[in-house]
């Protein structure tokens, strides 16, 4: 490996929560659990919500249930995918994560479905 990969972690965030912010927070924590193993393997983890939520806030939105969220959440992931080298797709139903995977595959970006598939993961003990 010559340089660290920027890896988008994709999985359920809002899906299946019926807009319950506590459940969305739980989903975000689940996404974030994959960040350390990716970092330990020598890469840079990225989660779209890490970018989208502050952007939404600065635009005057009041969280992921705000109507403005539609203009920010998915477009942020689409823009990030122009910079990402790979995607880690975590389990669970998610239209947004499925869209991320489709974009990645269309661009020839690797899509991993487990941490163990990420280059350097075995050497890092992941």
pLDDT one-digit tens code per residue, 45-54: 999 999 999 9
Helices (H), 6-124: 21-32, 35-40, 48-58, 73-80, 95-106
Alpha carbon distance 109, 25 (integer Å): 28
Alpha carbon distance 18, 95 (integer Å): 14
Q: Write down the domain spans for the chain.
A: 6-117
Q: Which fold has domain 6-117?
A: Rossmann fold (3.40.50)
Is pTM, for the whole model, over 0.85? yes
Span 3-54, pLDDT tens digits: 999 999 999 999 999 999 999 999 999 999 999 999 999 999 999 999 999 9
Nearest to 126 by CA among 33, 53, 47, 63: 33
Query: Quick one: tokens of 11?
Result: 């999985």
Where do we find the tokens 């989660």?
47
Positive or negative, the CA dihedral 31, 50, 44, 117 is positive
């Amino acid at each position: 490996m010559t340089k660290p990969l920027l890896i988008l972690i994709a999985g359920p965030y809002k899906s299946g929560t019926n807009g319950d912010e506590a459940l969305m927070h739980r989903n975000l924590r689940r996404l974030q659990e994959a960040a350390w193993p990716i970092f330990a393997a020598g890469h840079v983890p990225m989660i779209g919500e890490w970018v989208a939520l502050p952007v939404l806030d600065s635009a005057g939105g009041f969280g992921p249930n705000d109507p403005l969220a539609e203009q920010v959440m998915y477009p942020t992931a689409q823009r990030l995918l122009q910079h990402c080298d790979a995607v880690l797709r975590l389990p669970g139903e998610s239209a947004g994560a499925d869209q991320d995977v489709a974009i990645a595959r269309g661009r020839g970006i690797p899509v991993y479905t487990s941490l163990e598939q990420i280059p350097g993961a075995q050497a890092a003990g992941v």
